[in-house]
């Protein structure tokens, strides 16, 4: 099927059957649905500078030559403007020069042109074009650039992104429509959504997060850089921010609140549910780069007299509330840490055995004030996926998972390597 460029089609003359000038094409209107949205209307600028919107059915001929005019079926005197429908969108106004999310390559692309396909007299949007060639065409300099590139043996590749993998960032759609627009983005891994958010400005981040469900938004924010986390949470309405913080693990919510102004953090804690807020407040009492600041209070701990079969049943019931279940901790009624065993050891044990019979009584643990370096050294030395944090009476306060330590250690390593590279 013939492929057309929106920027080459834009500003072409519109003539009626008698050759009278009706105006110039300014924009195309599409139904913003489907993998290849259909052009339903066109916007024109009349000789008296008034803007009209006409049905696309009035187009009789659309020549391939970019210099040739577009011919309409009706005489100029018989034309009358129509209105846009709520589910229609203007391409120049809402897509061209805007940024979109390429959900296939998980990146943000600026739209320099729009690719159209003619099929049985109808136009359909097939994709958008970014990159240098699309920008040069938009600036009416593509032919000159091609000749210059040919002289030096260079190429000007096209960067076309199929419409079906795009999510627009800037539209005039209602909130309900916007939630439908971001269905593709919402299916990405939270880490990919976080990477995309880091390429956006604050208002764009807010628009994306507002359209995601709270659980997905919470995971995406957790995966973002600390400065992005603080920025997006601070810009949200307190109720929305509190709901998202409640979806996070307590240690992750505490990390974000650590980076907020004290007044804002207090406001959000007061807006959160009391139980969740209390867990976060307990973690905020510790320095961020200590064991107490790194730990999460959510872990699995059972009494020593519980049998293996009973423990497995309880884990099935309670695992949803725990951040990880790498290890099962054994505690007395005062929550004093008595022993530990791995999930693998639990599953392979005799169902009738009691936990005190199979647990390891010598538990590697740290105090809340232990520094990040010592925590990392212990986890590395003993190959621990989680490290318990205990209080003065030996009671378990929480656990530090290996991913939380890596999130802090790896950026330090990369920064050191980057400095050495340039010394």
Q: Are residues 25 and 158 in the same domain?
A: yes
Q: 375 in a domain, yes or no?
A: yes
Number of H helices and number of E strands within the chain?
20, 19
Q: Which domain holds residue 308?
A: 301-407
Q: Where are the alpha helices (DSSP H) in 29-153?
A: 91-94, 131-138, 142-151
Which parts of the chain register pLDDT below 70?
Answer: 1-2, 134-135, 137-157, 170-182, 319-323, 410-423
In a domain, 296, yes or no: no
Are 43 and 132 within one domain? yes
Helix (H) or strand (E) holding 269: helix 262-271
350 and 324 share one domain? yes
In a domain, 135, yes or no: yes
- Are residue 143 and residue 109 in the same domain, yes or no? yes
Whether 21 and 134 map to the same domain: the answer is yes
Kindly give the pairing relationship between strand 88-90 and strand 70-72: unpaired
Last residue of a domain, one of 96, 128, 162: 162
- CATH number of the domain that residue 24 is part of: 2.30.30.240
Q: Are residues 34 and 140 in the same domain?
A: yes
Please state the domain count of the chain. 3
Judge if 246 and 145 occupy the same domain.
no
pLDDT of residue 181: 54
Nearest to 140 by CA among 120, 162, 166, 112: 112
Q: Which of 253, 164, 176, 179 is nearest to 212 (CA)?
A: 179
Whole-number pLDDT of residue 337: 97
Within a domain: 413: no
Whether 347 is covered by a domain: the verdict is: yes
3-state SS class at 345: helix
Write out pLDDT tens, residues 29-79.
Answer: 998 777 789 999 999 999 999 999 999 999 998 887 878 999 999 999 999
Task: Looking at the structure, tell me whether residues 250 and 128 fall in a common domain.
Answer: no
Task: Report if residue 396 sits inside a domain.
Answer: yes
Are 271 and 314 found together in one domain?
Answer: no
In a domain, residue 363? The reply is yes
206 and 100 share one domain:
no
pLDDT of residue 121: 72
Q: Establish if 415 belongs to a structural domain.
A: no
Q: What is the CATH number of the domain that holds 246?
A: 1.25.60.10
Tokens of 135: 């920008």
Parallel, antiparallel or unpaired: strands 396-401 and 386-390: antiparallel
Based on the fold, state whether residues 386 and 264 are members of the same structural domain: no
- The domain boundary residue, chosen from 144, 162, 180: 162
What pLDDT, on the 0 to 100 scale, is given for residue 386? 93
Question: 386-392: which pairs have CB atoms within 8 A and are 24 or more residues apart?
Answer: 386/299, 386/324, 386/326, 386/327, 387/291, 388/299, 388/329, 388/337, 388/340, 388/363, 388/364, 389/291, 389/292, 389/295, 389/365, 390/337, 390/365, 390/366, 391/367
């Amino acid at each position: 099927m013939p492929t057309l460029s929106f920027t080459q089609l834009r500003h072409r003359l519109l003539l009626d059957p008698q050759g009278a000038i009706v105006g110039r094409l300014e924009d195309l209107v599409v139904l913003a649905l489907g993998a290849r949205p259909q052009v339903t209307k066109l916007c024109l600028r009349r000789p008296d500078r008034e803007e009209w919107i006409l049905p696309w059915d009035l187009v009789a001929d659309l020549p391939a030559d970019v210099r040739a005019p577009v011919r309409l079926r009706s005489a100029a005197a018989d034309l009358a403007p129509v209105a846009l429908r709520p589910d229609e969108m203007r391409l120049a106004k809402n897509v061209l020069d805007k940024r979109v999310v390429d959900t296939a390559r998980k990146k943000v692309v600026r739209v320099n042109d729009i690719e159209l396909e003619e099929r049985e007299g109808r136009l359909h949007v097939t994709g958008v074009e970014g990159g240098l060639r699309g920008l040069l065409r938009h600036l009416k300099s593509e032919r000159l650039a091609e000749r210059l590139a040919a002289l030096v043996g260079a190429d000007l590749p096209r960067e076309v992104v199929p419409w079906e993998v795009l999510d627009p960032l800037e539209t005039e759609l209602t909130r309900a429509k916007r939630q439908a627009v971001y269905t593709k983005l919402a299916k990405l891994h939270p880490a990919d959504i976080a990477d995309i958010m880091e390429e956006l400005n604050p208002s764009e981040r807010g628009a994306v997060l507002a359209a995601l469900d709270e659980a997905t938004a919470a995971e995406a924010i957790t995966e973002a850089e600390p400065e992005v986390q603080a920025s997006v949470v601070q810009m949200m309405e307190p109720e929305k921010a509190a709901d998202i913080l409640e979806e996070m693990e307590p240690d992750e919510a505490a990390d974000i609140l650590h980076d907020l102004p004290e007044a804002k953090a207090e406001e959000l804690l007061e807006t959160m549910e009391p139980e969740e807020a209390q867990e976060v407040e307990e973690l905020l009492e510790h320095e961020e780069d200590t064991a107490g600041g790194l730990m999460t209070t959510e872990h699995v701990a059972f009494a020593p007299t519980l049998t293996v079969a009973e423990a497995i049943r309880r884990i099935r019931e309670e695992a949803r509330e725990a951040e990880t279940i790498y290890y099962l901790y054994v505690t007395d009624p005062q929550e004093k840490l008595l022993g530990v065993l791995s999930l693998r050891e639990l599953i392979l044990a005799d169902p009738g055995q009691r936990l005190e019979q199979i647990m390891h009584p010598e538990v590697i643990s740290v105090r809340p004030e232990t520094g990040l370096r010592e925590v990392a050294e212990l986890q590395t030395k003993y190959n621990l996926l989680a490290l318990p944090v205990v209080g003065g009476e030996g009671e378990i306060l929480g656990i530090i998972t290996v991913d939380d330590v890596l999130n802090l250690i790896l950026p330090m390593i990369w920064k050191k390597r980057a400095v050495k590279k340039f010394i």
